């Protein structure tokens, strides 16, 4: 009996040990796999994806787009919700980050396994130091990453050196341009000085001949100007001489041309619109369209003149805007309507004036007839 009990106890202990071994192996396998936190599971659940991490990036993106069409505030759908869409977007980013991390870890593990398999070959252990220019330490994959980083650093250094050379060449070219500019300016200064000397010589010759002796204002002081006492007298007198001789700045001439052209175009439109009858006939409509087409061509030329004027005008507040055909036609229509009303009122006034003159003439004729009848009656009575 005692032997049987001992045998049963030993069998039970062996079975219990096997169970413990199987449970520890299962726990070790579970702990070695990728762990998913509760928040990540919630993100998978919110995107309606399985939480085992078996979904591809394409499936994750499709799920995100499907939910975005439902919950985006600007989608116009009845299920739009800004708070829920923010949660969906946050879950999408968390899932993408988790997948990229898992993929990176698996890639590194595979690379290390491959490197270990290669290192177990028949080649000698020191042969791997002959690759990558002998740079780096550690496993071949680690040394390859270090070598790539060194190549990137070399490339960036070469780019910086090239840019520095380009800047030096540009600076040398700018120096040559500056030197050429200085030569041109010195040449212009020499020409200006030569012209000034020539003008001074001509003035001296005229003074020696006595051309300035018979001037009307000889020996008299120059006329003072009181409107601006801070202006330079020389500049003021020069401007007065230019004005007295009919000189006008280019922007003034251009402004006058624009004003005259605008008045001419508006008068053409107003006269053409005023000649039309109140119910416009088809013939008059065609004539009006032809007139508008010709005016449009003239307005294009006028707008180019306005652009040139805006470039040379001295003050920004004096610049002009472009002329619009629709605006000019609208003004012409209003002006024609006002002209018709004025003509109608003038005709009514003329009619009233004629009626009054006719009444006065009739009253004067009746008075004259009465006087003549009274005189004739008196003459008949005296006879």
The pLDDT value recorded for residue 371 is 72
Q: What is the pLDDT of residue 84?
A: 83
pLDDT, tens digit, 9 for 90 and up, residues 70-101: 887 777 778 888 888 888 888 888 888 887 88
Is residue 92 included in any domain, yes or no?
yes
- The pLDDT confidence band at residue 130, using thresholds 50, 70 and 90, is low
Residues 266-283 have pLDDT tens digits of 999 999 888 887 778 888
Residue 282 lies in a domain: yes
99 and 161 in a common domain: no
Q: Is 289 domain-assigned?
A: yes
- Domain count within the chain: 3
Closest CA to 48 of 81, 77, 71: 71
Confidence grade of residue 312 (pLDDT, cut at 50, 70, 90): very high
CATH number of the domain enclosing 95: 1.10.287.110
Percent of the chain with pLDDT over 90: 15
The chain-wide mean pLDDT, for the chain, equals 76
Beta-carbon count within 10 A of 75 CB: 13
User: Does residue 5 carry a pLDDT above 60?
Assistant: no
Identify whether 336 is part of a domain. yes
Among residues 106, 139, 162, the one where a domain terminates is 106
pTM of this structure: 0.36
Instruction: List the domain range (segments joined by +) for residue 179.
Output: 147-209
176, pLDDT greater than 90: no
Backbone angles phi, psi at 284, to 5 degrees: -65, -35
Task: Say yes or no: 205 and 256 in one domain.
Answer: no
Same domain, 166 and 81: no
Distance CA 168, CA 183 (A): 23
| Arithmetic mean of pLDDT, 13-41 | 51
The overall longest dimension of the chain from CA atoms, in Å, is 200
Give a yes or no: residue 266 inside a domain: yes
Do 262 and 181 fall into the same domain? no
- Inside any domain, residue 14: no
Is the confidence at residue 11, as pLDDT, over 50? no
**Of 121, 113, 120, residue with least CA distance to 141:** 113
The token pair at 119 is 């290192």
Helices within the chain (DSSP H only): 2-32, 38-46, 57-71, 82-119, 140-209, 233-244, 250-274, 282-312, 325-382
pLDDT band at 24 (very low <50, low <70, confident <90, very high): very low
3-state DSSP assignment of residue 184: helix
Q: How far apart are CA 116 and CA 125, in angstroms?
A: 12
% pLDDT > 70, the chain: 74
Predicted pLDDT at 72: 79
**H helix intervals, 54-139:** 57-71, 82-119
Pairwise pLDDT comparison (203 vs 32), residue with the higher score: 203
Residue 52, domain member (yes or no): yes
Most confident range (mean pLDDT) of 35-44, 167-176, 281-290 is 281-290
Average of per-residue pLDDT across 127-143: 68
Q: Which of 264, 360, 361 is nearest to 305 (CA)?
A: 264
CA distance 231 to 233: 6
102-126 pLDDT per residue, tens? 777 776 666 666 665 555 444 444 4
Least confident of 153-157, 254-258, 346-350: 153-157
Of 249, 250, 247, 248, nearest in space to 308 by CA:
250
Instruction: Report the pLDDT value the prediction gives residue 309, as an integer from 0 to 100.
Output: 94
Residue 260 has pLDDT above 90, yes or no: yes
The answer to which of 204-208, 218-222, 306-310, 364-368 has the lowest mean pLDDT is: 218-222
Q: Given pLDDT bands bounded at 50, 70 and 90, which one contains residue 16?
A: very low
Looking at the structure, tell me whether residues 274 and 334 fall in a common domain.
Answer: yes
Q: Residue 218 falls within a domain, yes or no?
A: no
């Amino acid at each position: 009996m005692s032997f049987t009990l001992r045998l049963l106890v030993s069998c039970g202990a062996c079975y219990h040990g096997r169970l413990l071994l199987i449970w520890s192996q299962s726990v070790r396998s579970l702990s070695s796999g990728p762990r998913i936190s509760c928040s990540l599971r919630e993100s998978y659940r919110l995107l309606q994806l399985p939480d085992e991490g078996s979904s591809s990036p394409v499936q994750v993106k499709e799920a995100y787009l499907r939910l975005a069409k439902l919950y985006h505030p600007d989608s116009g759908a009845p299920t739009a919700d800004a708070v829920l869409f923010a949660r969906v977007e946050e879950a999408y980013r968390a899932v993408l980050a988790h997948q990229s991390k898992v993929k990176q870890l698996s890639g590194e593990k595979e690379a290390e396994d491959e490197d270990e398999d290669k290192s177990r070959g028949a080649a000698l252990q020191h042969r791997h130091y002959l690759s990558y220019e002998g740079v780096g330490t550690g496993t071949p994959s680690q040394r390859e990453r270090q070598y790539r980083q060194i190549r990137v650093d070399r490339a960036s250094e070469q780019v910086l050196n090239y840019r520095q050379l380009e800047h030096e060449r540009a600076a040398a070219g700018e120096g040559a341009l500056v030197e050429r500019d200085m030569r041109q300016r010195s040449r212009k200064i020499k020409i200006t000085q030569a012209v000034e000397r020539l003008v001074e010589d001509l003035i001296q010759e005229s003074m020696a001949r006595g051309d300035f002796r018979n001037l009307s204002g000889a020996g008299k002081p120059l006329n003072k100007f009181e409107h601006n006492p801070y202006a330079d007298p020389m500049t003021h007198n020069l401007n007065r001489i230019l004005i007295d001789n009919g000189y006008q700045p280019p922007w003034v001439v251009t402004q006058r041309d624009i004003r005259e052209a605008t008045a001419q175009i508006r008068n053409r439109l107003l006269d053409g619109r005023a000649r039309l009858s109140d119910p416009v006939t088809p013939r008059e409509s065609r004539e009006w369209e032809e007139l508008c087409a010709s005016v449009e061509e003239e307005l294009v030329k006028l707008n180019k003149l306005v652009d040139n004027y805006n470039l040379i005008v001295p003050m920004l507040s004096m610049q002009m805007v472009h002329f619009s055909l629709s605006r000019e036609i609208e003004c012409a229509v209003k002006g024609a309507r006002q002209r018709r009303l004025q003509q109608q009122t003038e005709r009514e006034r003329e009619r009233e004036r004629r009626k009054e003159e006719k009444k006065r003439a009739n009253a004067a004729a009746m008075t004259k007839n009465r006087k003549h009848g009274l005189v004739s009656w008196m003459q008949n009575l005296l006879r």
